C-alpha cells in the first residue's frame, strides 16, 4: 500500500515523498520497508518508544476513525467481521469533510476539486439492487435486497452485500441502488427478503 501511495503521489501530484514519520510498529521496521525507503531516498523519522504523542495528528485521526466505526457498528445490524468495511467508509467520509488542520477538505487538496456529497448513504442501510438479468421472466423480481457496506474505490457506485438470485452471499459493486436509509437489515433478513420486488 505504501508503494502504491508513493507511485500515486508521483503520478497525480508530480511530487515525491521525501519524509515519513511513523511510530515503531513492526510493519515500519521490516528490512523490506526500510530498503524501499532507502532506495527511494525517503528520510525516516521514528517516534521514541511508548510516546504516541509524538505522532499526535495520526493518533488523533486513528481515534476519530475508531469512534466512527464503533458508532456505525452500533447502528447497523452487521457482524463484527464487517469492521474493515466500516473503517474504509469512515475514512471515505473524513476525507470529504473539513478539518481544523487544513483549510479545505483532504479530498480537495488531493484531487483539486470539491467533493460531491449527494451520494453519501448511512452505512449498513438496506437497499434494492436492480437485477441486470431477469432470469425469472417478466413477472419475476426486478431487484434484490442487499446491505450497503462501503463505497466503491473505482467507480461512483456502492459495494453491497447480500445473496443474489444467481449466487451465494457476496460483495458486489453496483451503481443503481434504491436505498432504504432508515432500515438497517440484518444479513438474515436480507437473505430472507432477497426475492422482493420494487414497484
Cα end-to-end distance, the chain, whole Å:
43
Residue 26 lies in a domain: no
- The set of cell numbers assigned to 60 is 488523533
Residue 113 lies in a domain: yes
pLDDT over threshold 70, residue 191: no
Question: What is the rounded average pLDDT of the residues 1-6?
Answer: 95
| Higher per-residue pLDDT: 89 or 54 | 89
Q: Note if the pTM is more than 0.85.
A: no
pLDDT over threshold 80, residue 37: yes
Residue 141 lies in a domain: yes
Residue 68 lies in a domain: no
Domain count for the chain: 1
* Lowest-confidence segment of 101-105, 116-120, 162-166 by average pLDDT: 162-166
CA-nearest of 91, 93, 78 to 161 is 78
Residue 158 lies in a domain: yes
pLDDT over threshold 60, residue 137: no
Task: Give Dmax over CA atoms of the chain in angstroms.
Answer: 67
pLDDT over threshold 60, residue 194: no
Residue 196, pLDDT score? 37
Whole-angstrom Cα distance, residue 45 to residue 43?
Answer: 7
For residues 43-66, one letter each, b for 16 or more C-beta atoms within 10 angstroms of the residue's C-beta and e for the rest, the string is: eeeebeeeeeeebeeeeeeeeebe
Backbone region of residue 127 per phi and psi (left: phi > 0; alpha: psi in -120 to 50; beta: other values): beta
Q: In the predicted model, what is the mean pLDDT of the chain? A: 85
At 107-127, the pLDDT tens digits run: 998 999 999 999 999 999 999
Residue 64 lies in a domain: no
Domain of 121 in residue numbering reads as: 75-199
| Higher per-residue pLDDT: 188 or 169 | 188
Amino acid at each position: 500500500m505504501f508503494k502504491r501511495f508513493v507511485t500515486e503521489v508521483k503520478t497525480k501530484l508530480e511530487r515525491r515523498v521525501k519524509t515519513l514519520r511513523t511510530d515503531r510498529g513492526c510493519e515500519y521496521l521490516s528490512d523490506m520497508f526500510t530498503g524501499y525507503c532507502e532506495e527511494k531516498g525517503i528520510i525516516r523519522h521514528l517516534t521514541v518508544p511508548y510516546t504516541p504523542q509524538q505522532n499526535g495528528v495520526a493518533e488523533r485521526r486513528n481515534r476519530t476513525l475508531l469512534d466512527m466505526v464503533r458508532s456505525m457498528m452500533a447502528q447497523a445490524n452487521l457482524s463484527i467481521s464487517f469492521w474493515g468495511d466500516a473503517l474504509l467508509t469512515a475514512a471515505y467520509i473524513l476525507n470529504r469533510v473539513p478539518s481544523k488542520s487544513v483549510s479545505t477538505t483532504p479530498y480537495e487538496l488531493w484531487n483539486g476539486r470539491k467533493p460531491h456529497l449527494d451520494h453519501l448513504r448511512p452505512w449498513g442501510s438496506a437497499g434494492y439492487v436492480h437485477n441486470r438479468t431477469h432470469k425469472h421472466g417478466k413477472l419475476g423480481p426486478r431487484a434484490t435486497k442487499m446491505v450497503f457496506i462501503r463505497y466503491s474505490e473505482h467507480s461512483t457506485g456502492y459495494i453491497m452485500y447480500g445473496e443474489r438470485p444467481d449466487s451465494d452471499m457476496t460483495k458486489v459493486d453496483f451503481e443503481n441502488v434504491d436505498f432504504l436509509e432508515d432500515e438497517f437489515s440484518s444479513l438474515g433478513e436480507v437473505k430472507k427478503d432477497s426475492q422482493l420486488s420494487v414497484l
